[in-house]
Structure 1
Amino acid sequence: MNKVANINLDSSSAGIGRIGGNIPICFLDKKKDIEGFKYYMTIQKPDNPNEYISILIPDSYDAMIANNIYPNCSLKVFTHSFSDESENRSYTLERLHRSSLMGYKEVENETFDFVTQAPNPKLIQDEDYYFKRLEEDGFTFYLQIDEDYYPEDLLSGNYILGYGAIYLYKHNKTGKIMAGFWQYS
C-alpha cells in the first residue's frame, strides 16, 4: 500500500504540513545553512508523526538544473520536530500560495498524489543513473513530491520544479533523509 497526502488550498486547515509560506521558526538560528535558498514545504514523516521534513530550493533555477542528482543534488532537506511558521519572509517563494497538506491515507500501490510514500517511485524519466549510485551507497527510496498534483491557483507563474518531482531517499543504516534527485518534464 502507498501512503499519500494532498494539497488543500485552505491554509487554515489543520493538516500534516504545508507548502509555501515562511520558514519554520526552527530555521531562524540556521540562516547560514539556508542562505541562497527559498522555503518550499514541510511535511510530517509518514512513519513518525513526531518528526517533520522541510525542503528548501536554491534561489537559482539554473543551479537547480545543474545539480539535480546525488551526490550533488542542490535541494536541501532537513528533519526536525514540529515548528510553527515564522514571520521571516526572506526565504518565502512569493509565487507559491501557502496551503495545507492533508493526509496520510493508505491507497493502492498504483495510486500517487502530491506526496507519496511507496515501495518504488513513479519516475518522470526512468533512467537508472538517477538512483543507481544512491542504492550503491546504501539509500532506499523514501517518498516523492510531485508537481503533477498541484491544484489550480496554487501558483502564480512558473512551476517551481519545471512540472517535475522530488525523490527523497533514506539511508539504510543512519536513517538520514535527503533529496536523491529531482526530475522535470
Structure 2
Amino acid sequence: MDKPINLLAQRTDCMLHYVEPAIADIPRAGWIGGNAPEFFDNPAHLLDLGGRTYLFYLSFVHPFQPGRMISIFIPEEYEEYLEHNMYPDCPIKVIEHPLSAESHIETYTNAGLRKHHITTGEPCTDDKSVERSFLIKVGGTPRLLQNETYYSAKLEEEAFSFFFQVDEDGYPDTLLQGDGSYLLGFGALYVYAHIGTKGIGHPVAGFWQFS
C-alpha cells in the first residue's frame, strides 16, 4: 500500500485509463455505459436516491485496493447537479464496493451511453499527462478547467485529497448514442478521498467543471 499512497502524495506520477470498444471475454479495468454492477441489484445495496432518479455512469477496479471497485452514478436531471457542483452539496454519487460483474438488469442504465471498456491503468508522469486525452487520471495533480481555489477549499478543510478525475475529453466518437450528451458539459469530475498511510477511504464527488 505504501507505493500508491506515495504516488498520490507526491503528485509527480499518475496512472491514465482510456476507453475502447467493449469486446467480450477480454478483461479490462471496468466499463462506462451499459448496466450498473450486479452489486446494486441487491435490495440491501440500493442507492439512497433522495427523491432523485440516478443513471449509471461507470465502474472501474479500485487502483489500490484489490477486490474493490468504484462506481459513479449521476442524477438524470442535469439541472440538479449543475446547480450543486461542489462538495458537500454535489449529488453525484461515488461508491466503493466489492468487485462485481455487470448486471443484466437495466435499472440505472443510461440509454445515451454505448457500453465501452475502461483500459487498465498506464503509468505516466504528471507533466506528460497534460498533453494526453484520457478518461480517468489517478493521482498526480488534477487537470482543472477552471483553476479556482474555492472548488477544493471545503475538501481540504476536511482533510480530503485529490484521488482521480474523469474527463470527457477522453470520450471516443462511438461512446454517445441516440440522444446521448456530455453529462458534464464536455467537462470533468474530480473525486477526492481521505488518503493516509493506512489506505484510501471515503471517496466523494469533490466537484465538477465544464468547458
**Equivalent residues in 2 for 1:108-147, closer than 5 Å:** 108-110=125-127, 111=129, 113-147=134-168
* Kept in 1: contact 2:159–2:194 (CA 8 A): yes
Runs of 4+ in 1 over 3 A off after TM superposition: none
- Larger helix percent: 2
> Which runs of 5 or more residues in structure 1 are unaligned?
none
Q: Which amino acid aligns with 1:4?
A: L
Counterpart selection for 1:47 from 39, 50, 64 = 64
Q: Supply the distance in 2 between the matched residues of 1:155 and 1:11 (Cα, whole angstroms).
A: 17
Cα 1:122–1:85 change in 2 (3 A) is same
The runs of 5 or more residues in structure 2 that have no matched partner are 1-12
Conserved in 2, the CA contact under 8 Å of 1:43 and 1:53? yes
1:164 aligns with 2:178: no
The residue that corresponds to 2:21 in the other structure is 9
Distance in 1 (CA, whole Å) between partners of 2:119 and 2:65 is 16
1:61 aligns with one of 71, 78, 83: 78
Deviation at 1:93, TM superposition (A): 0.6
Task: Report the more deviating stretch, 86-95 or 125-134.
Answer: 86-95
**Other structure's SS at 2:165 match:** strand
Q: CA deviation at 1:68?
A: 0.9
Structure with max Cα Rg: 2
SS in 1 for 2:120: strand
Question: Percent identity at matched positions?
Answer: 35
Which residue of structure 2 aligns with residue 75 of structure 1? 92
Alpha-carbon contact 2:40-2:47 (below 8 Å) kept: no
- What is the CA-CA distance between 1:120 and the residue it aligns to? 1.4
Residue 7 of structure 2: aligned partner: none
**1:3·1:104 contact (CA, 8 Å) conserved in 2?**
yes
Shift of 1:180: 0.4
Whether the aligned pair in 2 keeps the contact of 1:11 and 1:98 (CA below 8 Å) is: no
Q: Which stretch shifts more, 26-35 or 148-157?
A: 26-35
Deviates more, 1:147-156 or 1:174-183: 174-183
CA–CA separation in structure 1 for the residues paired with 2:182 and 2:202: 28
Q: Is the 8 A contact 2:188 2:210 kept in 1?
A: yes
Report the alpha carbon displacement of residue 99 of structure 1 after superposing the two structures with TM. Answer: 0.7
Q: Matched residue pairs, number?
A: 185
Q: Is 1:106 aligned with 2:123? A: yes
8 Å Cα contact 2:93-2:205 kept in structure 1: yes
Structure 2 letter corresponding to 1:8: E
- What residue in structure 2 maps to residue 154 of structure 1? 175
- After alignment, is 128-137 or 154-163 more displaced? 154-163
**Secondary structure of the corresponding residue to residue 131 of structure 1:** helix
* Offset of residue 32 of structure 1: 4.8
| Maintained 8 Å contact 1:143/1:169 | yes
Query: What TM-score do the two structures reach when normalised by structure 2?
Result: 0.83
Matched with 2:5 is none
Q: Does 1:31 align with 2:43?
A: no
